[in-house]
A and B are shown apart, each in its own frame.
Chain A
Amino acid sequence: MEALIAVVAGCLVAGAVYLMMARNVLRFIFGLVLISNAANLIIFASGRMTAGAPPLVPKGADAPVGQVANALPQALVLTAIVIGFGLFAFALVLVFRAYTSLGTLDSGEMRVAEPRDDARK
């Protein structure tokens, strides 16, 4: 199971890096989504996979009985997903704003803040 997740995470990173190499900012943002999901999978997998044993505390007991899945990475992943979602929403709006006000999605042509002929006009 861990091996499968590791391969999936690797594929996600590979796809993400390919997308992020593009000059198109929108593709870059999509790459960012993929790679952040890969990071989430890494956290999830590093808590070790325990199938079919939810970390629930039975009635009357103080702690879960027997071998159960590690709940902490799941909590971490949930937090990371929520934060990642917020940041992605922001980045998407920013890219849209960039497209409307700069008229391009090509990062090589975004030179308003750093004009080419910088030194002496």
Chain B
Amino acid sequence: MSWTLALPLVLPFATAVLAYLLRSGPAGRWISVAGSCAQLVAAIVLMVAVLEHGVIAGQMGGWYAPFGITLVADYLSAVMVVITAITALAVSVYALGDIDERKEDLGYHGLFNVLIAGVTGSFLTGDLFNLYVWFEVMLIASFGLLILGGSRAQIDGGIKYVTLNLVSTIVFLSGIGLLYGMTGTLNMADLAVTVDGLENQGLLTVVAMMFMVAFGVKAAVFPLFFWLPASYHTPAFSVSAVFAGLLTKVGVYALIRTFTLIFDGDIGYTHQILLWVAAFTMVTGVLGAAAQGDFRKILSFHIVSQIGYMILGLALFTPLALVGAVFYLVHHIVVKANLFLIAGVAQRLTGSTDLYRIGGLYKSAPLLAVLFFIPAFSLAGFPPLSGFWAKFILVRASLEVQGWLIAGIALAVGLLTIFSMTKIWAEAFWKAHPEGIEPKLSALDPWTRATLLMPIGFLATFTIVIGFFPEPFVQFAEISAAQLLDSTAYIEAVLGPVTE
């Protein structure tokens, strides 16, 4: 059982080392693609094991919980690992055409795989301090990727990204210290049992707020999101796609995990705050996007806005709302990464991401227009694409608890999302290019064209599949929400009869 859990972590690290050693030739990028394929297989094996056994846990190094480091996979962890592997595969294929040799020589593929390892580790760990370590693995790799190439805009964005993320890390670390001081354990399952018996529940709420701030920065919620739109439009397109898809979602995952498993004692207080946070995040994100005129900046603000929906699912804390949050997570990672990949192709064809300087893509590159249409309108929540079901579940969950206002906000934000997407559509695709250029896909050489468009098509297909056959995904999300609300299985898997 341990290997099933450890393999999705070992593979990207091994790939990273090999890809880094062989970075100066073409071998590095192929190792990265092969590693991502192997990672996807390992993730699917893990998923099958979870589907069979419910929750699986493994103790690393033979130290039993709560003393050793525990890896746990329940439904939520497993699906996040699979979706991470899918995104990683798509982006590593895209990188074949997107990343130039200079960036490869600087170690792009090595850093990329370390990032994937960090993300996967965060999803699988069952120990808070270990979560901190995975966050750091992820952070340091993302720092490297963000400023790789070293343009002025990247350094500028990098300063804001690095400083604010370091602050969040320190708040997280202090919270860990205080929580350990109160309970004497950092194993999440053990904590879930211990915190209920604490005398000073008020102090626990204080610590919970520290975790909320720390994970809130990572997840880019209001009012802690300013590092995201300042930096996500600066690095290479492969990098911003993988950031947009995965990094903030690690923060959301950490929030969901800790605020369902550990800090679920004072829901009236903490989840009420989360509800306000969700509302403001949705609104400020979408308004910020409306004011932007750059392809990637609009998309960056939309990440913030969409994070609000996921937090909404957590804040309502009903079974249906959590189903919505889990469904939203999966749908959003695929759609968002894809949109950034498309922005990359648009920039190649037209020469810029500034919407006022480009255009004409619909007439001369209709294939790209179709490929953009799918994730963009899925993001906005058009039926029958995946985003519609995600929003539908969340709005319905809000209505069920008489949250008229929040349901109204969620719907209005969806409407404004359409506004931003039509803005991109009108400027980049519909109107003629201001300089009279006719951007054609055939301008790219066949190899680059294939490597850039294949992952986009793959992810778009995935979006359509979720959209037309949402049933199995919803059922899956229902079980995972049930596991989140009733943590008995999780705790038993970790602390009960230990699996070797």
Contacts and interface: CB of A to CB of B under 8 A. Distances in A.
B230 interface: yes
Given A98-B158, A102-B156, 11 more contacts: A20-B167, A35-B170, A39-B177, A42-B178, A46-B178, A94-B158, A102-B152, A110-B159, A112-B156, A114-B229, A121-B356
B129 interface: yes
Contacts of B292: 118-119
Interface in B131-169: 132-133, 136, 139-140, 143, 147, 150, 152-160, 162-163, 166-167, 169
Interface string A23-40: 001001100100110111
Nearest to B292: A118
A43 B173 contact: yes
Q: Chain B: interface residue count, which band? A: 35 or more
B163 A87 contact: no
A42 B174 CA distance: 6
A84 to B, nearest CB: 8
Contacts of A35: 167, 170
Nearest to B234: A113
A110 B294 CA distance: 19
A60 to B, nearest CB: 22
Contacts of A90: 140, 143, 162
Contact of B129 (A39, A76, A111): A76
B390 to A, nearest CB: 30
Q: Interface of chain A, helix or strand or loop or mixed?
A: helix
A47 interface: yes
Interface residues of A, number: 43
B180 interface: yes
Max chain A CB contacts within 10 Å: which of B139, B140, B155, B293? B155
B231 interface: yes
Contacts of B129: 76, 79
A86 interface: yes
Interface in A77-121: 79-80, 83, 86-87, 90-91, 94-95, 97-98, 101-102, 107, 110-114, 118-121
Given A38-B174, A39-B170, A97-B155, A118 B293 contact: yes
B218 interface: no
B152 A32 contact: no
Contacts of B247: none
A29 B160 CA distance: 12
B155 A101 contact: yes
22 contacts: A32-B163, A35-B167, A36-B170, A38-B174, A42-B178, A43-B176, A46-B178, A46-B181, A48-B181, A72-B180, A80-B132, A87-B139, A87-B140, A87-B166, A91-B162, A94-B158, A94-B159, A98-B156, A101-B150, A102-B156, A112-B156, A113-B157
A46 B186 CA distance: 12
Interface string B218-239: 0000000000011101100000
Interface of A: 20, 25, 28-29, 32, 35-36, 38-40, 42-48, 72-73, 76, 79-80, 83, 86-87, 90-91, 94-95, 97-98, 101-102, 107, 110-114, 118-121
A15 to B, nearest CB: 14
Max chain B CB contacts within 10 Å: which of A43, A47, A118? A43
A120 B293 contact: yes
Nearest to A35: B170
Contacts of A114: 156, 229-230
Contact of A113 (B170, B176, B233): B233
A12 B291 CA distance: 40
Given A43-B176, A90-B140, A94-B147, A102 B181 contact: no
Given A113-B153, A114-B230, A91 B163 contact: yes
Contacts of A20: 167
Contacts of B155: 94, 97-98, 101-102, 112
Contacts of B153: 112-113
B230 A113 contact: yes
Contacts of B140: 86-87, 90
A91 B166 contact: yes
Interface string B479-491: 0000000000000
Nearest to B67: A72
Nearest to A110: B156
Contacts of B156: 98, 102, 110-114
